[in-house]
A and B are shown apart, each in its own frame.
Chain A
Amino acid sequence: MRVCEISHTVPPEVFIRRHVEAMRRYSAVDIVLVGRSPATQPQASLADKPVAGELLMPNYDHLSLPAKVWNLRYALVGNSWRLRRPLRDRAVLGFFDRLQPDLIHFHMAGLAILMRWIPEALGIPYTVSLRGSDIQVEPVVNEGYRQGLKDALCGARGIHCVSEDIRRTAEEVIEQALPHAKVIYTIAPEHSSERPLARGIGRRPLLLVTVGRLHWRKGLEYGVVAIAELRRRGISCRWRVVGEGPCRVQIEYAARDEGVEDAIELVGVRPQSWIRDTLAEADVYFHPAVAEGISNAVIEAMAAGLPVVATRAGGMDEAISHDEDGLLVPTRDWRAMARALEELARDPERRTRLGRAASAKVRERFSASRHSREFFELYQGCFQGRR
C-alpha cells in the first residue's frame, strides 16, 4: 500500500516527521511525504532539514520560473480528466498521479478542504488528521470553512483525531456523528538517560520552560501574570519560552507591565537539540494554553521526565492525570497556575515523583509502536469494503 501524506511544509513539523519514521517500520506501507510549500516562517516545532522521501508539491505560488515551466510537462500528457482543469491544477494532478498512491492522508483539516479534489480526481480514498485550531477555532469564526470541513470529513474514508476532546469538538462543530473517526495519540520521543533527582530551591531560581508558537492559543499572557504572582509569593523563577509568533509584542509588553521582564526570556526559534538540552536543564514545564488539541511539546517534556503544570485545554487531561504525572489547572486561571507552580517549587520530591510517573506513562501510552499499529489499521480500514 502506497500512502501519500500531505503536510503544510517541507521539512514538516517534528511530530509529523516522527510519525513518518514510525510508519516506515511497516514494510506493507510505503510512505511519501509531500509538503505544500517550503518552510519560510521559523517555527520551533519544525524539523531541522528535509530528508529523503520528503517531496515538495509543485505549487505555482512558490516555484521559480524554470521550475514552473518544467512542471508544465505534466500538463502536456493528455488524459481526459486533465483537460477540464486549469493548467496549474493539471500539473499538480500529474505530480500526484506519478507518485501512484493508493491513499492520500492530509495531516491538517485545512489541507483536506483545499485539496480533497485531488484524491477524488484520482479515484482513491483519503484520510484526514484533526489536530487543533483547524477544528477548534476556524469553524467558529468562518462559516465557509465550517461547510468545507463538513464536506471534507464526510467524504473521508478515515479520520485521525489527536485526542478524544478533538473528536467530540469535531462532532459538535459539524453537528454529525463521525463513526469513522479514531483517536490515535502522538509519539513521544525516546529519552535514554534518566533524569537526576530534583533539587530544592537553592540560590538558583526555578527554571520553567515552554515550547510553542507565540500565539494567543498558547495563553502566554496568562502565563506572564502567573509568573508575576509566583514572584509575589516569594518564589524566584525564570521562564524560558522557545518559539516565535505574532504575539511577541503582547507578551513583552505584559512582562514589562507586570514588572517581570527580567524573569522572562523569549529566546525565539531554536533547533531540536537545543530544546532537548533546555528540557534537561529545566525544573518544570509550564503550559498555560487556552486552546490545544493535545500538546506535543507537553508530551515531549513528559518523556524527558519533566514535571508539567498544564491547563485543562482540549485533550490535555488525556495526557496528564492530575497529581499523578503532572498538575492540571483550569484554563485562563492564573491564580491556580501560580499556586500549582508554587507547590512544585517548594517540593522537589514531588517534582521527581511526577516526572518519573510522567515518563513511564508516556512511554506506554504515546509509544511509537502503538501509534504506528493504530495508524496502519486506519489505513487498512479504508480498503475493507465501503463505509
Chain B
Amino acid sequence: MRVALVTHCYPSVEHPYIYDWTRALVRSGVDLTVFCEQVGPDAMPGDGVSRPRVVEFANLAEPGRSLVRCGVASLRYAFRPLRPLHALRVLAVSDKPKTALRKAFEYWPCLHRGFDVVHFNAAQIAIRRFEFGRILGGKVIVSFRGQDFTFHPDRYDRLLREADHLHFISRHLLEEARKRGYLGGRHSLIPPAIDTDFYRPAPVPQGPEGSRGPYRLFTAARLTWTKGWEFALQAVAMLVEQGYDIRYHIAGDGEMRPAVAYAIRQLGLEGRVHLLGWLSPEQVRQQLWEAHVYVLASVGEAFNNSVLQAQACGVPVVCTDAGGLPENVQDGVTGLVARRRDPWDVAAKIRCLLDDPERRREMGVAARRRVKEQFSLKDLVPLFLAMYERVCA
C-alpha cells in the first residue's frame, strides 16, 4: 500500500512522536512517503534503515534550493510528462490563477507517483493543502490532533464534510467535531502512542527524601499559553509558601517565554524553577527519571504525549481536566486530575502526591501498566494499518 503522509515539519523537535510512528510504519512494510513543508534537524535516535522517503515542498521563500529540487523532479518527469500536468489540473479548476501558479510551483517536486492513501497529519495543514490529496489521487485521511481545531472549530467544517476518513486522537475531539455537525460513520479513534521500551522506569529507583523535600517536579511542553504555565507556577509558589522544598524543571521553548520568566520572578521562584529549553528524548527521559511528580496545568489540550511519556516512565501525573487529558490520565489511579485554571486545586493535588510516597509508587506502577496496555507504539501500527485498509477497501 502506498501511503503519503503530509506534515508541517519532519522530523520535528516539537513533535517527536511523528518520527517514532513513521519509522514503525516503515518497519512493518508500508510504502511510506512523507511530504513536509520544512525538513527539521535529524537529531532523533534510530537506525538509518527504517526511514521513510522524505519530500519537501518547494518554497518561494527559498528560491535557490527549491529550483534545484524542481529541476531534479523535472528530470524524472521527462519519462512520464503527462503525469504532473494531469495532476496539476486540479489546481486550475479549484483556485484563482495566481494561487494556482504558486501552488503548482510548491507541488512540482512531489508529483512523480500516485498514492492509495493521503494522510494529513494535522487538520491545520489539511485545510491549507486540501487539494494536494486530490492531486496525489488517493483517499484522503485527516488527523485531528487538537491545536487550532480547539480554538477555531468553525474553520474546519470543510474537512469534516469532504475528507474520506477522519482520525481523532481523543473522544474529546470527536465530541467537538460532532458539535460542528459531523454525523459519524467515517472516523477512527486512535489515541497517540509512545515507545514504552524507550520510556521505561528509572533503572535505579529514587532514594528516600526528607519529609519536606527536596522534591523535583518536571514538565516538557512548548511555552505557549495553551499549557497554562502561569497557573502551574502559581501552584508551585503556593507549595513553596507552605514549606515544601521544590525544584521545578521545565523543558521546552516558545513565544510565552517572557511571560513564564516574568512569572517566575514575580512569584519569587528564581533558583527553584529552571527553564531548560528543548531537550533531546534521552535528556527528557533522564529528567523524568529524576522527577517525583509530572505537572501539566494546560487550559486546552487534545491528548498530550508528554503525559504519556511520564506515565510510561512510572512518574505519577498531576494534570488538569482540559480537553482529552482526563482520557489520558485515569484520575486517582495513574495520576490526579485538577480543575483547569485553578492553581489552588493543582497545588492541593501535587501536595497529595508529595506527602504520600507509597501512593506515588503505586500510581507510577499503575500508570506504566496502563500505558503499556493501551498506548504502546507496537499496538499503534496495526491500528493505523487497519485504518488505511478500511479506507482503501
Contact = CB atoms under 8 A, between A and B. Distances in A.
Interface of A: 136-138, 140-141, 216-217, 221, 225, 247, 249-250, 252-254, 257-258, 290-291, 331-332, 334-335
Nearest to B270: A140
B300 A290 contact: no
Interface in B288-307: 299-300
B198 interface: no
B234 A216 contact: no
Given A221-B341, A250-B225, A254-B341, A137 B299 contact: no
B237 to A, nearest CB: 9
A216 B225 contact: yes
Interface in B127-167: 150-152
B256 A216 contact: yes
A24 to B, nearest CB: 36
Nearest to B263: A290
A141 B225 contact: no
A291 B341 contact: no
Chain B interface helix/strand/loop/mixed: helix
Given A253-B151, A332-B230, A141 B258 contact: yes
B266 interface: yes
A219 to B, nearest CB: 9
Nearest to B267: A332
Contact of A137 (B234, B258, B344): B258
B262 A249 contact: no
Nearest to B230: A332
Which 3 A-B pairs rank lowest in CB-CB distance, beginning with the nearest?
A: A216-B259, A250-B225, A141-B258
Interface string B219-259: 00000010000100010000000000000000000001111
A256 to B, nearest CB: 9
A136 B262 contact: yes
A258 B322 CA distance: 11
B262 A253 contact: no
A254 B299 contact: yes
Nearest to B228: A221
A257 B234 contact: no
A9 B105 CA distance: 39
Given A136-B262, A249-B152, A254-B299, 19 more contacts: A137-B262, A138-B258, A140-B258, A141-B257, A141-B258, A221-B230, A221-B341, A247-B225, A250-B225, A252-B151, A253-B299, A257-B299, A257-B300, A257-B340, A258-B341, A290-B230, A290-B262, A291-B266, A332-B343
A225 B230 CA distance: 14
A290 B258 contact: no
Interface residues of B, number: 21
A249 B341 contact: no
Contacts of A250: 225
Nearest to A250: B225
B300 A140 contact: no
A332 B234 contact: yes
A228 to B, nearest CB: 9
Contacts of B151: 249, 252-253
B113 to A, nearest CB: 39
Contacts of A334: 341
B261 interface: yes
Contacts of B152: 249
A202 to B, nearest CB: 31
A333 to B, nearest CB: 9
A253 B150 contact: yes
B297 to A, nearest CB: 12
A313 to B, nearest CB: 9
A335 B265 CA distance: 22
Nearest to A219: B230
B261 A141 contact: yes
A216 B258 CA distance: 9
Contacts of B257: 141
B250 to A, nearest CB: 14
5 contacts: A137-B261, A141-B258, A250-B225, A290-B266, A334-B341
B150 A140 contact: no
B85 to A, nearest CB: 41
Contacts of A252: 151
A131 to B, nearest CB: 15
A119 B234 CA distance: 44
Contacts of B258: 137-138, 140-141, 216
A250 B231 CA distance: 14
**A217, A247, A332, A335: most-surrounded residue (chain B CB, <10 A):** A332
